[in-house]
Every structure is written in structure tokens, then in C-alpha cells.
Amino acid sequence: MNQPEAKKQPQTNVYRHELLPTHFLERAGEAYADHIAVVDGEVQYTWREFRARARRFASALKARGLEKGDRIAFLALNSEPMLLAHFGVPLAGGILVSINTRLSADEIGYIIGQSGSTKVFYSPELRDQIPAGLSGVELLNTQEELEALLAQGTEDEVSTEGFHEDDTLSINYTSGTTGRPKGVMYHHRGAYLNALAMVLDQRLTADSVYLWTLPMFHCNGWTFAWGVAAVGATSVCIPRIDPADVWRRFDEGVTHFCAAPTVLTMLANDPAAHRLERPVRLFTAGAPPSPTIIAQMAALNFELEHTYGLTETYGPCTINVPPPSLESQPEEEQSRHKARQGFLNVCSGEMSVVDSEMQPVPSDGETMGEVVMRGNIVMKGYFDDVEATEKAFAGGWFHSGDIAVLHPDGSIELRDRMKDIIISGGENISTVEVEQAVVSHPAVMECAVVPIPHEKWGEVPKAFVTLKPNQEASEDDIIEHCRGKLAGFKVPKAVEFGELPKTSTGKIQKFLLRNREWEAHGGRIN
């Protein structure tokens, strides 16, 4: 018997709305209209005022001829204009290109050219970092020239009709430690979902005060640029980290911040450090934090959560979620557990730790493999680089290049970057494990371990150490300390004291130390 033909339903989008981070701003401008959105020195705006500025920015850009998909670059310190860029540029249909403020003029010129940016907004104090002779690029400072542009725009609602959540939202460039930096393309959907994951895990509310210690150019501030707007919280912008100033702001009402472990070490060892009267929540990432710094921050009344991710995953894609039973464990055990990278955030997708054949490693906490991901918060690919994209997505997963173990509870723990693993006499040595042993010495503030050439073993560990102020320790002291914590072949064979090279986000640049040690040998073989 023939079934009656189903009545054709009219096409409708009643059940669907594109996931665009700019929607957070539109809502905040209504729901939190009179709440302070951003504080930048003596300047502050409510969410109603900040939304109006973003609309004016977007309409002015469109009036200047911006078309959907055009790239607009920002070379700017943490500031209201940099935050404004995260809403005004995508509202106009443009793609935001956030540039690392610590790059050389040559590197900045490459990014501007490779991205095809038509306009570059810059903090006045960074003008000299922009190379001369850029063709077809309009340069505008983030003070007088940006404000003049805003004055040309309107506060009318900007239509996002025709925008799609899979459209490219921003391009963030990798560090380029092994060649030219690659442009990582974020889509609106990934940024929207990851921002909500950050809000959920960090328990942000309209009463939260978020301090911008993390550069906004770095993975768009781990998507907190949009997450703060989602709940109508307040952003406090500081151009650079001054530990004494940061501690003052903690005392004045800051509730949340993000920072790399090296920044935490700097704060914990500053003369202004003191136990806070109320807890402050923080995310740390960029390198595995040592149990030592985790314990230090806990003693100062910080609620620390360790997260893990890459530029290619919108920043944090995993969250360390300690089990309730951990609270009954000794402090040392709690710190060790909190040093893990944990589980995927609630909006991520899938993650695995695999061997060279792409097979999952055992959940034994010992067998090492590469971390791979796929899902909502993996990049679209590298801008204008098909070859690099295909390599990164081999086998249908994004390959992180990070080495980890999988614990029985399903959490991951990083052991190293592939390129940082030391192979000494056929034995694999995790530089992270050695660094944690070194940092547990009471005189050590921070440490980086790299392989150095060795005639018999091929390569062995060397520790680069920065001591705490007014503390002393010798090479023999450090080595002897490590002998009590590590297998003999893992103990550093040399120790060098001094300042460590770092990125703008506080991440130690181990490749510079490694390259220096291997220069006389024509480069590392492994």
C-alpha cells in the first residue's frame, strides 16, 4: 500500500542560529548594558558603550571598502582597542590577524604580507617594529587614527546575514621556531564553543573581573576575549606585566587571570607576594607546571587549574579536573595530580594518545605516544599552506607533536615535545620530568633541560637554571639533589646558571638553548 507523500516543509532557520562570537557582544550590550565592560588605565566603557564602539568600528571599516574575508591586522598591546578588534573586525565580515608584539620587523612584515592584510592597526609605541616599504597596506595607530575612524561610523546594529559559523574568524601565527610562522585559521564556531568552555570551567559570571596578563594576540587570549563578553564580566587591560602592579590588582578585586608557569614563578617570588584574603582563580598553560609552583600558588590562595592546548586548538582544549577524592591526599600528591593536562574541555571533541601506527597506547601512565585531536576546536587549517595542513591532519586527526601518557582514569600527562625528548644510549628521557626534579630544589626558581652532545651516549641532559633572589646553589648541589629523585641516566650531566630566553607569553624558548649547544656539531641528529 502506498504511503501518502509527506507534506513538504518550508525551509526555515527556526531551529538554527549560526554560532558567531559577536553575538556575545550584542547580548552583553542589552543584558549587562550599564555594567563595566573594560577598564584600560583611566578609560572605561560599559557594555552598552563598548558595543556602540564595536558597531562604529565595523560600519566605518565597511564604509572604507572592507569586504567579507578581508584581513585586518593588529599589532597592539593588551588594551581596549585590541579588545575592540575582536568584535569590530568580525562584525564587519573581516578576519582579524593578531600579531605577536615581540616579533622582529622582518617577522612582522612577513605576517602582514603572507596574510594579505590590507590595514594594520598598531600601538604607537610599537610603530618602529613595522617594516618600511609595505605596499598596499594602510597603517593606523590605535589612538588618534582609530578614534577618527570610529567617529565616521554609526551605532546602528550591524547585520551578520550571510555569515556562517564555518567562516574564518581570525588568523593566529605560530612561533615559527623551525621556519616561517604558519597562519592558523580559526572559525567562528570553534571560537564560540571554546569561549563557552572557558566560561564554564573558570566559573565566570557578570561579577567576575578578568585581568589581562595573557597577551590578547596569543590564541585571541585563549578565547577569553569573547568569553568575558558572554557573561558580561569586566576586562582589566594592562600593557605589560609588572608583578607589584598585578599583586595590587589582586587586592583591589581581580577574580580571574591566565598565565604561563614562568609568569606564576615570577609572581610567586616577587617581594610583593602575599597570601590573598580571598581566592583568585587562574588558568596556567604553555608548558607543564611543576608540582612545586602549583603548591606555591595554592599557599598564596590561588585556585589553579592546569590546561593544555596549542595555537591550532584555540588555546586550551583540555582541563585538569581533579577527582573529589584528591582532597584527602597529601599536598605533594595533589600537586603532582594537578600537573597533569587532564581531560578534554566540554566543547572539544575527541583526543587520543597514539603510537607511530596511530593505535591508542595503553592507559598505564607509562607508555608514551603522540597527542592527537579532532573536533570543534581544531583549526580549519593553515592559511594558504595546503601542504602543511595535509601533514598536520594526516590520518584524519590533528597531530600535536606533543608526547604524553594516558592514565587509567583517562587523563593525559605530557612528557615532552617530540623534538625535546632526549634519547640517551637508547633510553628516552622526558625533559619535563628532569625539570620538575631540578625545580624541587629550594634555591631554584625555574629551569629548562635540553639535550647536549655526548661522545658515548649520543646525548645527555643539561639543565639551565635561574636561582631565586638571594639564593645560592652550585652545579654539584643541583646534580646531587637530582640523584635522589631520578634514575642515574636521567640526572643532568651539566648545569648552567642564568636568565632563560622566553616568548612574549612567558614560555621558555628551549630551542634557542638546544641550538646553541649543538651549533658546533652541525645541528642535532635526532
- Which pLDDT tens digit goes with each residue over 234-244? 999 999 999 99
412 in the same domain as 503: no
- What is the pLDDT averaged over residues 5-34? 84
Residue 317 shares a structural domain with residue 442: no
**pLDDT one-digit tens code per residue, 270-313:** 999 999 999 999 999 877 788 888 889 999 999 999 899 999 99
Q: Nearest-5° angle of CA 164, CA 165, CA 169?
A: 100
Looking at 388, 417, 446, which one is the last position of a domain? 417
Domain annotation covers residue 210? no
Question: Which of 9-13, 38-42, 72-76, 181-185 is the least confident region?
Answer: 9-13
Average pLDDT over the chain reads 91
> Could you give the 3-state DSSP secondary structure of residue 391?
helix
Cα 476 from Cα 109, distance rounded (Å): 46
Q: By three-state DSSP, how is residue 123 classified?
A: coil
- The pTM of this model reads 0.84
What pLDDT sits at residue 292? 87
Owning domain of residue 53: 22-31+44-155+162-187
The partner residues of 427 in beta bridges, in order of sequence, read 424
CA distance 306 to 345: 12
Which of 1-10, 201-210, 422-431, 515-524 holds the top average pLDDT? 201-210
pLDDT computed for residue 362 by the predictor: 96
The last residue of a domain, from among 366, 388, 417: 417
Considering the domain boundaries, does residue 93 fall inside one? yes
The per-residue pLDDT for 523 is: 62
What would the mean pLDDT of 198-218 be, rounded to a whole number?
96
Q: Is the predicted pLDDT of residue 22 greater than 80, yes or no?
A: yes
Comparing CA positions, the residue from 246, 248, 214, 249 lying closest to residue 228 is: 214
Report the pLDDT value the prediction gives residue 335, as an integer from 0 to 100: 78
Contact between 479 and 447 under an 8 Å Cβ cutoff? The reply is: no
Is residue 4, in this structure, part of any structural domain at all? Answer: no
Q: Exposed/middle/buried for 477, CB within 10 Å: 0-12, 13-18, 19+?
A: middle
**Structural domain contains residue 202:** no
Q: Of 171, 187, 203, which one is at a domain's C-terminal end? A: 187
Same domain for 63 and 150, yes or no, is yes
* Highest mean pLDDT out of 173-177, 408-412, 427-431: 408-412
Q: Are residues 452 and 413 in the same domain?
A: no
| Residue (of 207, 201, 195, 347) closest to 281 by Cα position | 201
- Residue 346: its pLDDT value, please? 93
Residue 389 belongs to some domain of the structure: yes
Q: 430: domain CATH number?
A: 3.30.300.30
Grid coordinates of 205: 559570571
Does some domain include residue 214? no
Cα–Cα dist 57/35, whole Å: 21
Which DSSP letter does residue 260 get?
-
Residues 331 and 397 reside in one and the same domain: yes
> Which residues is 71 bridged to in the sheet?
95
Could you tell me if 364 and 397 lie in one domain? yes
Domain shared by 393 and 455, yes or no: no
Q: Is residue 230 part of a domain?
A: no
pLDDT (tens digit, 9 = 90+) per residue, 389-411? 999 999 999 999 899 999 999 99
* pLDDT confidence tier of residue 504, bands split at 50, 70 and 90: low
Per cent of the chain over pLDDT 90 is 72
Q: What is the mean pLDDT of residues 408-431?
A: 83
CA distance 368 to 362: 9
The pLDDT assigned to 150 comes to: 97
Distance (Å, rounded) from C-alpha 273 to C-alpha 41?
23
Residues 408 and 435 reside in one and the same domain: no
Q: How many other C-beta atoms can be found within 10 angstroms of the C-beta atom of residue 325?
A: 7
CATH code where residue 92 lies: 3.40.50.12780
CA atoms within 13 A on the CB side of 461: 30
Report residue 9's pLDDT band, with 50, 70 and 90 as the boundaries. low
Average pLDDT over residues 474-488: 92
Report yes or no: 71 and 189 within 8 Å, Cβ to Cβ: no
2 has a pLDDT exceeding 80: no
Q: How many domains does the chain have?
A: 3
- pLDDT, average across residues 469-490: 92
Q: Are residues 96 and 27 in the same domain?
A: yes
pLDDT digits (tens, 9 = 90+) for 127-146: 999 999 898 999 999 999 99
**Same domain membership, residue 409 and residue 328:** yes
92-111 residue pLDDT tens: 999 999 999 988 888 899 99
Give the residue, 508 or 397, on which the prediction is more confident.
Answer: 397
The pLDDT score that the predictor gives to residue 1 is 47
Query: What is the SS3 assignment for 452?
Result: strand
Based on the domain organization, do 437 and 336 belong to the same domain?
no
**Is the separation of the CB atoms in 219 and 311 below 8 Å?**
yes
Of the segments 79-88, 338-347, 400-409, which one has the largest average pLDDT value? 79-88
| Structure confidence at residue 13 as a pLDDT band (50, 70, 90) | confident
Whether residues 451 and 386 fall in one domain: no
Residue 233 lies in a domain: no
Strands 381-382 and 343-344: unpaired
What would the DSSP string read from start to end of 12-34? Answer: --TT-----THHHHHHHHHHTTT
Q: How many angstroms separate the Cα of 452 from the Cα of each of 177, 353, 495?
A: 19, 28, 11
Q: What is the DSSP string of 184-249?
A: EEEEHHHHHHHHHHHHHHHT--TT-EEEE-S-TTSHHHHTHHHHHHHTT-EEEE-SS--HHHHHHH
pLDDT of 506 reads 73
Q: Which residues contact 426 (CB under 8 A, 6 or more apart)?
A: none
Residue 322 in this model has a pLDDT that exceeds 90: no
- Rounded mean pLDDT of 419-434? 82
Taking CA atoms, 312 is separated from 78, 442, 510, in Å, by 22, 36, 20
Residue 10 has what pLDDT?
Answer: 55
- The continuous run of DSSP H or E covering 49 comes out as helix 47-63
